[in-house]
Amino acid sequence: MGPGHEPGHEPGHDWADVTASESSLRRFLHGLPGVDQVGAEQRAASLGTRSIKTTAKAYAIDLAISMVDLTTLEGQDTPGKVRALSAKARRPDPADPSCPPVAAVCVYPDMVATAKQALGSSGIHVASVATAFPSGRAAMEVKLADTREAVAAGADEVDMVIDRGAFLAGHYLQVFEEIVAVREACAREGGAAHLKVIMETGELQTYDNVRRASWLSMMAGADFIKTSTGKVQPAATPPVTLVMLEAVRDHREQTGRMVGVKPAGGIRTSKDAIKYLVMVNEIAGPDWLDPDWFRFGASTLLNDLLMQRTRLATGRYSGPDYFTLD
């Protein structure tokens, strides 16, 4: 899974002193440099105006497709819907076998086995949300049982939500310990499911809090930090993602461990996706331009990427009804 997952980079191994008490953890998190709100928003906006050449655009679209966590998280999800989504994940454009598959299919824990079976040996990961998604408001035993159920069913990745209430109240050690416990619940024979930590940035109120939550999640052993559940507005935004990309870059400089980033919710067009890829390259660096280290949480983005891909290849759009709207 890349350099961040080598032995010797056990998460948390450098942070024992910092996480020894609530006060030492608070001192560390509040000692992080403050985020210049205007600067972050201007930088994100200026990166969003970059134009890229057609050849680079074709490459970027295929890269973006390969980074999609194709997601269905509805109360009305059925096994049939999950099987259809899995088929689309394997062959996003049935008419063009050169189109890459997506990175993962993301479902509720009770749909993991269905997705796992449908994806077979395709190499596409199954991601499962857990820990009382999307609110994160449940007893710790419930959250851990939720996680273990997903892992037992075969989830390759677990997308957990932090307790935003505890974080906003300044109970940082509680949030840290919760992430550590969920990470331990991801263990299974022969390895562990990768842990993606959802911060629900739309509820964190400030960019400083986004930076603190990013560091807290990485210190607790997150393999990925993720903006949002997709159930709260605002979801992913370029400035928030920029702050998270700075955090993973700085964290690697300090610890040698790479952590991935996943913006989710509200990214619907190829144009948006390419803006994010430009930002990844500029802020974190080209090492992150890989599905192992950057994902898009999306349900409708894939269709637009496929339409733009067809247009680049043929010079014309296939109508939106050409690609399934699941």
Q: What is the pLDDT of residue 322?
A: 63
Q: What percent of the chain has pLDDT over 90?
A: 88
CA distances to 14, 211, 257, 320 from 187, in Å: 21, 27, 19, 42
C-beta of residue 200 within 8 angstroms of C-beta of residue 163:
no
The per-residue pLDDT for range 53-81, each reduced to its tens digit, is 888 999 999 999 999 999 999 999 999 99
- The model's confidence at residue 14, banded by pLDDT at 50, 70 and 90, is confident
Average pLDDT for the chain: 93
Residue 1 clears pLDDT 50, i.e. is over it: no
- The model's confidence at residue 51, banded by pLDDT at 50, 70 and 90, is confident
Residue 313 clears pLDDT 80, i.e. is over it: yes
Residue 168 clears pLDDT 50, i.e. is over it: yes
Average pLDDT over residues 11-37: 90
Q: Which residues are designated catalytic?
A: 159, 226, 262
Q: What is the pLDDT of residue 316?
A: 80
Residue 52 clears pLDDT 50, i.e. is over it: yes
pTM of the model: 0.93
Angle CA 97–99–101, to nearest 5: 100
Q: What is the pLDDT of residue 318?
A: 67
Q: What is the pLDDT of residue 202?
A: 96
The per-residue pLDDT for range 265-288, each reduced to its tens digit, is 999 999 999 999 999 999 999 999
Provide Rg for the chain, Cα atoms: 19
Q: What is the pLDDT of residue 314?
A: 87
Q: What is the pLDDT of residue 3?
A: 39
- The model's confidence at residue 320, banded by pLDDT at 50, 70 and 90, is low
Q: What is the pLDDT of residue 323?
A: 64
Q: What is the pLDDT of residue 6?
A: 38
Q: What is the pLDDT of residue 258?
A: 98
Distance CA 290, CA 285 (A): 11
